Every structure is written in structure tokens, then in C-alpha cells.
């Protein structure tokens, strides 16, 4: 099939991994059933514009998705779940994202950061009680980690669980908690201390969402994903029994990682669905839209844009599929691969959505034409579950401690020799430029952060180039050949920029930046709107005294 033919709308409907699935697998059959349900439900029962305007998903949708089994994707059959493989889970989430991004994120959050810690760390008694509720969707689950002063920096958590006879007393606050006001069960990350205040490490607890002292606060008013609730949670003298612990005291980081890593794969699956939907609409428009040169789809520049978007979509599909394959085979997945999955799937999904808006012209800027809403919604995912820049800096810093691991992953596991050659000495040179610790000059620290970001980004693209190279050798399809070429070119561009050290590190320091930007007050003032909006406060004569 030629690249031009591949751009036709009918060819963009495939669900992630359909060709590779095992038809005889019970998991695959159950996933196919869920996908069929989602497609029909999306046609007959979903109005994304209405939910977006109301900033709330249709209440009945949660019940319907629960009855269909979408809230128990990987929960074992004995607890009432679907017990899907990772590959099939990602296929279902891809289709759910095509149905509606808000509903897909609710399903993904519940299954990833809500269910996974319970499955992995709760004792059998708790599993037997809670997992059937989660599988049916009669209780939604989430994770409470982020805090007002530390964001998603788990190491900086200040919410504290203090040991008392018979259990713990918890005090603190959480923010940006997905499903925070809806969740019946919350995996809560806290510091733990003994009765005398001595630290006992980071721990995780399973909390019932209606517990006394656990109070969801205001809901965030977001740019996109408007039907997806995110709340502040205030925790005051919350009493928890000892058996509320997930795992052991001090095992909180392991609980958090199980949730985040599970979430990154599922996010990738959802991104594939969004990318395919954007391309489906863009190609349909381009095939029908007449411009000065004829049909837009026949325009060389439009073909170039769509070709790159198609390659980006296929590359993310390969990356997500590789994560699923490793997990389903029971092999240990490197943390760097999970991070690369999250970074590249969300960044490339946003790029495809952006290009889709551009290709549709004025129509793309209308919320009624779907791609505008997808553009707003998908923007969140570059921040959600760890912002791209935070992850790349951390990833680069970690890889610097043992650069051989990445080389072994690219060269040995995927046999991607050309990718290794492309990285060449650039990668090693970057490693050598990273100071061993933060106890250095401000300039060195700044350069360390920049170097770590460049290194992390190179690592992501190196892994993607290796996987697409490996896939192209295996399948030899024209699309996979082009995707490998595209990924290699993306990596080559970043290698070239990484070699240009002066341009990379030529930045202003904090004092200069603050001084220059503060001067804008003279040029533009400092306007803060004060005209009152709607009065939604309860009348003082009606409040409790």
C-alpha cells in the first residue's frame, strides 16, 4: 500500500494492535466485545459537546460503562473483572478515547492509578471486598499524591500519617486529584511517623472516599477535559485502621510507581485513539476540500503534513505495543521505557491534534468540529502524570548514572545498530558534562538541568527510533519503513541540536530574567480584573450561625 493510499480515511479506523491480536484469546474476545459496545454507545448515547458545555459527563454514562465492564479492565475474573492483557487494555482505551476523551480519562485513571495499587498491594481480604465494587463501577478509585506546595514531587509530600494505638491519624492536603470528589476509594500517599514524630518513610493507604476528615474541596476549572473532575482534598484528623495500609510502612514509593507506570501505558493507548481520530477527520476534510491547487489532499504540503502525522501515529502505536508486549511476556520494563511512552505519546498526540486544527483552517478553530475540542483536551496530557520537562530532566539525570543501560536496551534488545551509530559519541559526551550532584555553582546547576533535559529527550527518541527500526525489519511494510525513516530523522535533528552546545546553554540567569520581565509593568501595567461575576454565595441570612 502506498503512503498516499494509507492517508485515506477508511484506513485510519484500525484499533491499536488489531493485526497482532490472538483471535483465540479470551482476553482478545472480551476486548473486542468492549470495543463493539463503545462504538455503538458512542454513536447512540454520547454527546461530547454537551458534556463539555456542562463541565460534567452524563451521570448515566458512568453506570453504563460500569455495567459494560470498562471499570474492571485488568481486574481478575474471580473478582468480576475482564482480566485483559495489557495489549487488549490499550486497545480498549484507544477506542474509548475516540468515543470521548473525558470518559476515556475517567476509565483510564480508575483502572490505572485507582485499581492497580489495590491489585498489587492490598491483602486478600481487602481485594475480595473492594475489587468487585471497582470492577462494576459502583465505586470509582483514584490516587491522591499531588500537594499544593510540591505538585507531583512525591519525595516532597508533607501530608502525614502518625501512628496511634490501633492505627493512624492523618493530616494534610492534596490537590489536582483526578476523580477526587467522585471516588469511593482513594489510594493516599503520606509520610508516616511514630507517636514521637520520628520518620518511618513514605507509605500508602486505601481510604474510603466518604471517611470523616477526608473532604473534597473546590473543583478545578480547566481549559480542556472539562467533564473530568479534579479536586483539592483537605484531610483533618482522618483516622485509619492499621489494615488500611497498602503493603508495608515505607513502601509508598513502590505503590506510587505501580500506579504511575500503569497509567503511562494506558495514556499511550488513549493517545493512539486521539491521533487516529484527528487524522481520520483531517484526511476526510482534505479529500473533500477544494483549494487553489485542487483538492487539498492532492496538495504536496498537505501530503507532507499528513505523512508525518501518520508516521507519528504509527510510531506511538509501536511504542505502546512494545510496552504491552514486554508486560504481557512478564519481562521487567525499564522505568525509562515507561517514561518515554508517556512523554512521546502525549507530545506527538498534541502535535497531531495541532496540525489537524491547522489543516482544517477556520473549521478547525470551531469547537463544533471535534478537533478543536480534542486539541484542548489532549493538551492536559503533556502535564498530567508528570510534565514532559520534569520527566525528561529526571530521566536524563538517572540515565547519567549508568549510560550503558540505554545502549544495551537499544543495541541488544532491539538490535538497532543504526540508531546506536546515530547517537554516536554525542550521548556519551552529554553524560560526561553532567555534574555528579547539585552541590555546584548556579551556572553549573543550570547547565546540569539543561543537559539532563537534552539527554532525556535524546533517550526517548533513541528508544523510539530503535523500536521503529526493529519493527520495520520485522514487517517490511511501506508504512513501517517510512515510520522508521521518520523517527530516525527526528532523532538526527535532536542529535544535531545537542552538539550545538553554545546555543543550548546560552540562557539568562534568574536575576536577569526577573529584572527584564518586571520592567514590563511600565510598558503594559499590571491589570487585574475586578468586575464582579455571578454571586454564588449562600445568603448570609440562610447560613449556619
The full 3-state SS of 353-414, as one line of letters, equals HHHHHHHCHHHHHCHHHCHHHHHHHHHHHHCCCCCHHHHHHHHHHHHHHCCHHHHHHHHHHC
Structure confidence at residue 210 as a pLDDT band (50, 70, 90): very high
| Proportion of the chain above pLDDT 70, given as a percent | 90
Give the tens place of pLDDT for each residue, 236-283: 999 999 999 999 999 999 999 999 998 999 999 999 999 999 999 999
pTM of the model as a whole: 0.90
Mean pLDDT of 166-186: 96
Cell of 119: 491489585
Average pLDDT, the chain: 89
What are the tens digits of pLDDT across the range 289-312? Answer: 999 999 999 999 999 999 999 999
Q: Which residue has the higher pLDDT, 406 or 3?
A: 406
Residues 183-210 have a mean pLDDT of: 95
Split at pLDDT 50, 70, 90, the class of 13 is very low
Contact 119, 160 (CB under 8 A): no
Q: How far is CA 344 from CA 387, 410, 469, in A?
A: 12, 17, 16
Would you state the pLDDT for residue 534?
85
pLDDT of residue 435 exceeding 80: no
Does 150 or 124 have the greater pLDDT score? 124
Instruction: Name the residue ranges covered by the structural domains of the chain.
Output: 13-139, 142-248, 387-511
Cell 460500569 -> residue: 66
- At 181 the three-state DSSP class reads coil
Return the C-alpha cell found at 22. 490472538
pLDDT score, position 100: 97
Q: How confident is the model at residue 151 (pLDDT cuts 50, 70, 90)?
A: confident
Which pLDDT belongs to residue 8?
29
Q: What is the pLDDT of residue 417?
A: 81
pLDDT of 355 above 90 = yes
Q: What per-residue confidence (pLDDT) applies to 16? A: 38
**What is the C-alpha to C-alpha distance for residues 60 and 269, in angstroms, rounded to an integer?**
25
Q: Assess whether pLDDT exceeds 80 at residue 67.
A: yes
CATH 2.40.110.10, applies to 142-248: yes
Section 517-536 average pLDDT: 91
Does residue 402 or residue 500 have the better pLDDT? Answer: 402
Poorest-pLDDT segment among 3-17, 119-133, 399-413:
3-17
Ordered DSSP codes for 491-518 = HHHHHHHHH-HHHHH----HHHHHHHHH
Using DSSP, how many helices (H) and how many strands (E) does the chain show? 21, 9
Q: Do residues 273 and 262 lie in contact, with contact meaning Cβ atoms separated by under 8 Å?
A: no
The pLDDT of residue 340 is above 60: yes
What superfamily would CATH give domain 13-139? Acyl-CoA dehydrogenase/oxidase, N-terminal domain (1.10.540.10)
Q: Is the pLDDT of residue 203 over 90?
A: yes
Amino acid at each position: 500500500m502506498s503512503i498516499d493510499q494509507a492517508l485515506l480515511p477508511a484506513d485510519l479506523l484500525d484499533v491499536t494492535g488489531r493485526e497482532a491480536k490472538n483471535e483465540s484469546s479470551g482476553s482478545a474476545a472480551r476486548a473486542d466485545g468492549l470495543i463493539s459496545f463503545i462504538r455503538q454507545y458512542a454513536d447512540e448515547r454520547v454527546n461530547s459537546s454537551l458534556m463539555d458545555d456542562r463541565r460534567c459527563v452524563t451521570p448515566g454514562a458512568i453506570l453504563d460503562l460500569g455495567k459494560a465492564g470498562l471499570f474492571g479492565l485488568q481486574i481478575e475474573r474471580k473478582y468480576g473483572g475482564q482480566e485483559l492483557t495489557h495489549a487488549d487494555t490499550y486497545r480498549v482505551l484507544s477506542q474509548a478515547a475516540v468515543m470521548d476523551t473525558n470518559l476515556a480519562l475517567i476509565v483510564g485513571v480508575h483502572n490505572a492509578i485507582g485499581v492497580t495499587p489495590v491489585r498489587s498491594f492490598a491483602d486478600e481480604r481487602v481485594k475480595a471486598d473492594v475489587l468487585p465494587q471497582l470492577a462494576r463501577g459502583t465505586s470509582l478509585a483514584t490516587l491522591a499524591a499531588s500537594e499544593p506546595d510540591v505538585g507531583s514531587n512525591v519525595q516532597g509530600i508533607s501530608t502525614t500519617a502518625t501512628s496511634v494505638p490501633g492505627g493512624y491519624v492523618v493530616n494534610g492536603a492534596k490537590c489536582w486529584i483526578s476523580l477526587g470528589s467522585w471516588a469511593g476509594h482513594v489510594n493516599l500517599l503520606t509520610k508516616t511517623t511514630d507517636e514521637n514524630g520520628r520518620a518511618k518513610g513514605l507509605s500508602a493507604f486505601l481510604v474510603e472516599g466518604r471517611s470523616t476528615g477526608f473532604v473534597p474541596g473546590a473543583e478545578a476549572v480547566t481549559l480542556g477535559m472539562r467533564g473530568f473532575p479534579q479536586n483539592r482534598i483537605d484531610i483533618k484528623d482522618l483516622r485509619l485502621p492499621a489494615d488500611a495500609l497498602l503493603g508495608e510502612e515505607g513502601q509508598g514509593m513502590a505503590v506510587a510507581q505501580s500506579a504511575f507506570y500503569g497509567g503511562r501505558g494506558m495514556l499511550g493507548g488513549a493517545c493512539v485513539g486521539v491521533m487516529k481520530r484527528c487524522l481520520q477527520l483531517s484526511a476526510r476534510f482534505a479529500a473533500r476540500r477544494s483549494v487553489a491547487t485542487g483538492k487539498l489532499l492532492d496538495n504536496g504540503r498537505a501530503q507532507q503534513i499528513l505523512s508525518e502525522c501518520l508516521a507519528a501515529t504509527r510510531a506511538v502505536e509501536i511504542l505502546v505495543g512494545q510496552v504491552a508486549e514486554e508486560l504481557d511476556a512478564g519481562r521487567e520494563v525499564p522505568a525509562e521505557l515507561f517514561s518515554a511512552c508517556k512523554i512521546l505519546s502525549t507530545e506527538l498526540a498534541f502535535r497531531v491534534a495541532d496540525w489537524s486544527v491547522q489543516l482544517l483552517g477556520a473549521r478547525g478553530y470551531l469547537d463544533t468540529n471535534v478537533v478543536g475540542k480534542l486539541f484542548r483536551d489532549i493538551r492536559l496530557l503533556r502535564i498530567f502524570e508528570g510534565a514532559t520537562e520534569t520527566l525528561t530532566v529526571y530521566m536524563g539525570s538517572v540515565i547519567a548514572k549508568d549510560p550503558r543501560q540505554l545502549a544495551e536496551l537499544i543495541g541488544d534488545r532491539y538490535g538497532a545498530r543504526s540508531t546506536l551509530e546515530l547517537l554516536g559519541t554525542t550521548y556519551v559526551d552529554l553524560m560526561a558534562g553532567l555534574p555528579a550532584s547539585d552541590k555546584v555553582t548556579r551556572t553549573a546547576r543550570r547547565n546540569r538541568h539543561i543537559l539532563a533535559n537534552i539527554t532525556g529527550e535524546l533517550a526517548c527518541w533513541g528508544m523510539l527510533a530503535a523500536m521503529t527500526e526493529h519493527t520495520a525489519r520485522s514487517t517490511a511494510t511501506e508504512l513501517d519503513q517510512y515510520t522508521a525513516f521518520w523517527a530516525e530523522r527526528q532523532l538526527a535533528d535532536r542529535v544535531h541540536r545537542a552538539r550545538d552546545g553554545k546555543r543550548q546553554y546560552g540562557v539568562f540567569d534568574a536575576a536577569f530574567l526577573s529584572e527584564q520581565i518586571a520592567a514590563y509593568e511600565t510598558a503594559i501595567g499590571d491589570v487585574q480584573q475586578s468586575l464582579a461575576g455571578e454571586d454564588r454565595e449562600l445568603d448570609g441570612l440562610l447560613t449556619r450561625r
